[in-house]
Amino acid sequence: MDSFLTTHLPQLTRSRIKQLISDGLVSSSSGKPVKPGQKIRGDETFEVSLPEARPIEALPEDIPLNVLYEDSDIIVIDKPAGMVVHPAAGHFQGTLVNALLFHCKDLSGIGGMLRPGIVHRLDKGTSGVMLATKNDQSHNAMAKQFKSHSISRKYRALIYGQIASSGTVDLPLGRNPNDRKKIAVINGGREAVTHWKLLASYQGLSLVELTLETGRTHQIRVHLSH
């Protein structure tokens, strides 16, 4: 039965069809649910009922947070390196959003069910200050300030090699056409501007302070590689 349905319903995997049969969601023309090993006759029709997809929702988790500031509108966190900001494919638990949902009674809903309260992001491997909002009014206000650059963001990075005392990288970024999981400098990509200032150098290493005009994914890593 499952082999027959897999052939005629290529949009569904065999394991998915087996689950639908087990759940009683596949019935014959008589209206009776079919059985996994049921033989097929030539004059039968079958009806497959697909359950309505449930939206994925982030769940609260009791994860310790280093709270730098908090009031009724916003919360400011020191995000550790290794923590993903919001749930996504492969990371539905242990994220900053999961921790915030446990810590805060309310978060702004503008970011949707997977990004409540999130106004900006930091890469998984980056540690630093993150601001989250507790209501839609504060979310809109903070988003406006990030967009107008009235909120400045400074980062420090330790890099290999020698670098000039200061400078700017203005190169557009986008998905690497050869590997969609990677970000690269792409003609026609989104504008990305990074300013740097050398703080110290020692034995082939340079400590730099970076100021971003834009906040693209992996912007610092890609720009510093150029």
Order of strands, edge to edge, in the sheet holding 74-79?
A: 67-70, 74-79, 128-133
Write the pLDDT tens digit of every residue in 24-51.
Answer: 888 887 778 887 777 777 777 888 887 7
What amino acid positions are annotated as catalytic residues? 123
DSSP class of residue 118?
Answer: B
This model's pTM is above 0.75: no
Direct distance between the N- and C-terminal alpha carbons of the chain, in angstroms, rounded to an integer = 57
How far is it, in rounded angstroms, from Cα 226 to Cα 6? 49
Query: Is the predicted pLDDT of residue 159 greater than 80, yes or no?
Result: yes
Compute how many other C-beta atoms are within 10 angstroms of the C-beta atom of residue 33.
13
pLDDT digits (tens, 9 = 90+) for 169-223: 999 999 888 887 889 999 989 999 999 999 999 999 999 999 998 888 899 999 9
For each of the domains in the chain, give its residue range(s) and CATH number, in order of start: 2-48 (no CATH), 67-151 (3.30.2350.10), 156-224 (no CATH)
Confidence of residue 53 (pLDDT cuts 50, 70, 90): low
pLDDT in tens, 7-31: 777 777 777 788 888 888 888 877 7
Interatomic CA distance for residues 147 and 126, integer angstroms: 21
Question: Mapping DSSP to helix (H, G, I), strand (E, B) and coil, where does residue 38 land?
Answer: coil
If residue 137 lies in a helix (H) or strand (E), which one and from where to where?
helix 136-148
